[in-house]
Each structure stands twice: as structure tokens, then as C-alpha cells.
Chain A
Amino acid sequence: MAKPDPNFWLPSLRKQDRKAQHALFQYYHKRMFSLCHRYIPDPYQAEDVMMAAFLQFFTQIDRFEERGSLEGWLRRIAVSQCLQFLRKSRSMEVLRFDDADESALVEQPALPADLDYDVLLGLVQKLPMGYRMVFNLFALEGYSHAEIAEELSITEGTSRSQLAKARALLQTWISQLEQPKSQSR
């Protein structure tokens, strides 16, 4: 089945057409939930945030200037909603953004290719809040360190060090996951 072009719905969405909204929701809601779930481990809270993101998307569709893709805009809104939620719930307070050097960068060994979604999601969610946010924003959402610094009110250096530490931690966990497999072989 050919992938539909989401911009096809745009004129109808601007008219607040309910059918178009439904179609777009059906098309993106799993992906958006998955995105929110990476930031917010509680699935119910993640879903609430996703709903808020869709609501903002539908009600402010007139502000979409068509410079990027519709999906990109939706993702931006969703990420923004997640960060807003975390700020409100004061989860951000547990962040410890220290300007550590990048010595945490470790040499990357070969990575397994057969880790499934749930395992990967579990690993991301297991990361400490600060690491998780920076890793999500940089590695999965494609934000630059400058953008991350602005979003999280931290320095770019902090963003870099947090990312390095997150990668190191994930690497360690993946290695630990691989050990039992290799032993059983």
C-alpha cells in the first residue's frame, strides 16, 4: 500500500473537517504515542500528552506555514508537549546537568541488530531523566545541541556531555543484554 501524503489532508484540516482529523489521527497516533512514551514512561500520562499534542495540532493548524512537513510539525508539537509536561510535573528537577567533560565517550563495540522495539524502549526509559531527554532530542528527534540547550535551558556543553553519558550507559546495558546470549551459545 502506498504511503499517503499527509499534506493531502491539509486543506480539510484547515477547515476543521472531522473526517480529515480522524484520518490523520489514525495515521499518526501510534507513532506519536511511541514518541511521547519515550519521554514519559507512564503510558497513560504519555497518552494524555499525545492527546494534548494532537489537540494543539488540530486547533492551531492555521499556524502551519508549510515550510516543513506536516509530520515534522506534529512531532515538534508533541516533543514540546512532553517537555512541558515534564516541567509541570517537576520531573525536570531531578535533572543533574553538570558540565562534565566528554571523557564518558567510550569506544563503541559492535552492536546487535536484533534488539526489538520493547527492549529498546525499555532501555531509553531506563535512562535518567536528563540523559533520556537529551538522547531522545538528539538521537531520535534530530535536534542540534544548540536547540536542545535552548529547549532545556542548559548549555550546549552540558547537552553534549549528557548525550555522551547516555550513550555510554546504553552501550553498557546492551552489552549486558548480549552476555547471556553469547554464554548460552
Chain B
Amino acid sequence: MNASENPLDRLFQQGLDHAGTTPPSAGWAQMEALLDANAPRKRRRAGVWLWAASVLPFLLAGLGFWYLQVPSSQVNQSLVSKQGTTPPSTPSISKMQTNGSKIEKLDRDPVKEALTDHAPRRPLNSAVKTQKRGVPRVESMASIPVSVDMPNMINPPDPGDRDQDFGQNPKVEGGQIVSISPEIDGDESEIAEVIIRRGKPLPVRGPENMESEVAKLEWRKAPPALLQNPPSLFAFLGTRNTLSIPSFHNARETVSGLWTPKK
């Protein structure tokens, strides 16, 4: 405080500054109530973080376990076939499950086989260039013939389900849309997951509105590292813009991925 030289100021300083009067009400009780009202928010927030921190390791452990268990069987079961054959007869997981059969393990490693036994391939980019507008555009892809099913392939939607107006009677030239979920009703805000099993390179043709809808969608490629891993994990983690199947040029491969509307 600056010591004012003014005598009037000094009079008031001496008379008022160091004096104190008791406030009208209780004081500390009120103050304590205010502090209590303010404090729990922090404690609650800390509690949430503590809870999250304790749950996260278990969650990650569970995910890791699931990641290690599920994909291998899925890959083996759904991996498409041999060179020169078409995929329609490829059994889907759901089919196998409904048959009550156990998941069979292939004697050969289909991934390795696909990597080594394939017929000469067209460069990927050239295949992509043949795609029509609106078809997922892949700029570069490792030619890893992974064949994996997204989780929803386990229970593919009923093709006759009229609610899935975009998914009804889906057709892919030279291939087959295995599932589309959730239904696309023209709302760009929706995210559709499209799984296509096809026999020929794209273009994709579907119901009338398909191309126009697809034209609004954007296809993004997953990093190569992701391509080598089962996409179901990434789908489970909510990575909705991954491309799980890397090759467009081989008729026996399965394309599965996620459509993400352009914003």
C-alpha cells in the first residue's frame, strides 16, 4: 500500500484499514459449505480418471486376447479360395455357424499361398483407374491377399430386409455385396459399412441410388500396417475408415471396408 501523504487519507487509513467488523452471518460454516460444494467436482473427476485408468489395462488385455484368438479362425474360414475359381461357393462364417460345424482350419496357410501362388497381377493403380466415379478409390495398396470378414459378416443382414433400402438386392458387377450395414437411407451423416465379395474388378453397380450415394462417399485406405492385421479389430475399435482388403485385381479376394461419408 502506498502511504498517502494526504492527512485525510491517513485519517481513513488509520480508522478503517486495520479495523474489522464481524459479518452479519455465521461466516465459516457458510464458507465451508461453499468449499464443499466446490470440491466434489474435482474429486468426482479424479474418480472417473482413476476408474478409467484401472479399467483400461483389463480392456486392452481383453482386446489383445480377442485379437489373437478370433482373427486366425476368421481368416482361415473366409479366405477365398484357390486361383482360377470364383468365390460364390466360399462359405461364410455365418453359414458355417448355422450348420453347426466347427470352424475348420485349413491345412495350408492361405495367406502365404495367396502371396505366392497368384497369377500375374495388374498394377493396382491401373485397376483403380478403371473404377467408375463413386467407387472407392485406392491410391496405393500392398498386394496382400488378405481375406477377412468384418464382424457383421458373422450375421449378414437378410437380403430381403426392406428396411435396408440401400442394401436390398445389392449387386456388384462380377461380384456380390455380402453385407451393408447399417442401412443407408440417403442421410450423409450415416456411416455405412460395406462388405463386397466380388469376382471381378470393380466398378460396383447396385440399386439405382447406389452410385449416387457412393459418389458422396469417400474411401480411405488404411496404412499398410493395418492391412496386414485383421480389420475386425479396427472395426471394433471404431476405426471406421479402414480398408481391410488390399487388392482389387484378383477375383478371388474379398473386399471389405467401411464407407465414410464426405463432410
Contact = CB atoms under 8 A, between A and B. Distances in A.
Interface in A73-113: 108, 111, 113
A113 B11 contact: yes
Contacts of A34: 16, 19-21
Interface residues of A, number: 43
Nearest to B15: A120
Contacts of B34: 51, 55
A139 B20 contact: no
A116 B25 CA distance: 23
Nearest to A29: B27
Contacts of B19: 31, 34, 117
B12 A139 contact: yes
Interface string A25-64: 1100111011001100001101100110011001100000
Interface string B28-48: 101110110011000000000
Contacts of B1: 140-142
A124 interface: yes
A115 B15 contact: yes
Given A34-B21, A58-B35, A144-B2, A111 B7 contact: yes
Interface of B: 1-2, 4, 6-9, 11-13, 15-25, 27-28, 30-32, 34-35, 38-39
Interface of A: 16, 18, 21-22, 25-26, 29-31, 33-34, 37-38, 43-44, 46-47, 50-51, 54-55, 58-59, 108, 111, 113, 115-117, 120-121, 124, 135, 138-142, 144, 167, 170-171, 174
